[in-house]
Amino acid sequence: MDKQVLCDIIREGQDVIPRIELYNRPAEYEEFGNYVFVGVRQCGKSYMIYQRIQQLLREGCDIGRIVYLNFDNERLNMMKADELDHILQAYASMHEGKPLLFFDEIQNVEGWEHFARRLANQKYQVFITGSNAKMLGRDIATTLGGRYWTRYVYPFSFSEYLGSLGVALDSNWDHSATLRAAVERAFNDYFSFGGFPEVRTIVAKRLWLNDIYNKIFFSDLVVRNKIRNENALRLTIRRLAESVRQPVSYNRISNLLRSTGTVCYPNTVTDFVGYMRDSCLLFSLTNYATKFSERETIKKHYFVDNGLLNIFLNNDMASLLENMCAIHLYQRYGGDGLYFYSQNVEVDFYLPEEHTAIQACHSIAGQPTAQREINALAKLHAFEPLKKALIITRNEEQTIQTKNGLTIEVRPIWKWLLE
């Protein structure tokens, strides 16, 4: 690796990053901690690094100590693990002392984790991003040996999305007709096109989202996992998008693909879904009520951003609403505490430790629909007593009392997301 190229890249980062305009997202850091940021492409991981650099500069850090490299840069495409030490050599030719190291998409360099461990052992402070959850896998975690803190980065929450648009809310915002209207207008775009930071300013939002999806598909799925049957993978993703509201088995997806003339065995579908989770494209929920042996074979799968899901659905409001509820709950509670419930009763989301159940329904204006959602929560309450029951809708709001003493709150999603 040419040392002069590395010097040029370091200088470029020192020149550009302090001048980038950012919306600051909440983040706290240990003073001398090392961090790994993981999330889907374009969700804002790089901005978290820029934000940390600007914060350090405000606190008095000299810009000369900052070393930022993005390994998606074509000049670093062919870099090998045994060349990573050239970064320190290049810096030493420019400055004295110990740099602060910021590495974007370092998982592009196979074997990077050994270099990262050595840096931590030598008391360098390091910030790393990656768009693959395998960065947190057992083998790499063992190599890093607990020397790094992990931070998951997601596209903007609705609160962050509003903040990035300059919409400031106080505790009484819902009593202001002006603020309420601004929130509802912003939510229309957020609901359909998701929370990727850059999508707010793009006019051709669907084209931009298609471009991001194609980068994830080819770079993070096909190339990284050496997939030869691209068509089977593409159809699997489409089937998962179309089934986002239902539990689905890998056998069923395999059969659906076979009906289109595409041969794809269940174990291959299992691998595909694992790759999608690794690329942070989607996450999965298990059935709380099922046998342990069945939990891994029948799941509900949700996309990490509504914009990506909407590429396949073309404004299927019910699926988009449930997917957005899933995103909000997954970010708040994580995959370990969040389930769906399916055994004699179908409930979309169940938080057993919170004794909370949530149904997602675009509208309960129709009597049969309302009764179905209410009955499901009431039945669950009969054998899993609930402290809180919610029906999340697009715009409706009321309180319902069931015959067995359960109080159900009906909330509009745009308000619920801000609570």
In sequence order, the 6+-apart residues with CB closer than 8 A to the CB of 256 are 239
Per the listing, tokens 């912003």 go with: 186
pLDDT of residue 268: 94
H/E element, 400:
strand 398-401
In whole angstroms, give the CA distance from residue 33 to residue 150: 10
Burial class (CB in 10 A: 0-12, 13-18, 19+), 247: middle
pLDDT of residue 413: 97
pLDDT of residue 182: 92
SS3 123: coil
- Contact (Cβ atoms closer than 8 angstroms) between residue 136 and residue 36: yes
In whole angstroms, give the CA distance from residue 362 to residue 372: 13
Sign of CA pseudo-dihedral 171, 417, 398, 287: negative
Rounded-to-5 percentages of helix, strand, coil across the chain: 50, 15, 35
pLDDT of residue 160: 95
Q: In what order do the strands lie in the sheet with 125-130?
A: 66-70, 100-104, 125-130, 35-38, 149-152
H/E element, 401:
strand 398-401
Per the listing, tokens 């909440």 go with: 26
In whole angstroms, give the CA distance from residue 186 to residue 158: 9
Closest CA relative to residue 239, chosen from 194, 209, 273: 273
Segments in 283-395 forming alpha helices (H): 306-313, 317-337, 367-383
pLDDT of residue 136: 61
H/E element, 38:
strand 35-38
pLDDT of residue 339: 96
- Contact (Cβ atoms closer than 8 angstroms) between residue 280 and residue 38: yes
pLDDT of residue 296: 77
* The CATH number, out of the four listed (3.30.450, 2.40.160, 2.40.340, 3.40.50), of the domain defined by the range 3-152: 3.40.50
SS3 144: helix
- List the chain domain ranges: 3-152, 156-324, 344-419
Print pLDDT tens along the chain (419 aa).
888 999 999 999 999 999 999 999 988 999 889 999 989 999 999 999 999 999 999 999 999 999 999 998 999 988 999 999 999 999 999 999 999 999 999 988 989 989 999 999 999 999 999 877 766 655 566 777 788 888 889 999 999 999 999 998 988 898 889 999 999 999 999 999 999 999 988 999 999 999 999 999 998 899 989 999 999 999 999 999 999 999 999 999 999 898 888 889 999 999 999 999 999 999 999 999 987 767 777 899 999 999 999 999 977 999 999 999 999 999 998 777 999 999 989 999 999 999 999 999 999 998 888 999 999 999 999 989 999 999 999 999 999 999 999 999 999 999 999 98
In whole angstroms, give the CA distance from residue 296 to residue 369: 30
pLDDT of residue 291: 78
User: How many degrees, rounded to 5, is the angle at CA 296 between CA 293 and CA 298?
Assistant: 100
In whole angstroms, give the CA distance from residue 200 to residue 194: 9
- Contact (Cβ atoms closer than 8 angstroms) between residue 131 and residue 164: no
Q: What are the distances in angstroms from CA 259 to CA 72, 300, 307?
A: 39, 22, 28
- Residue 177 phi/psi, 5° resolution? -60, -35
410 forms beta bridges with: 391, 398
H/E element, 230:
helix 230-242
Where does 156-324 sit in CATH, by number?
1.10.10
Same fold, 3-152 and 156-324: no
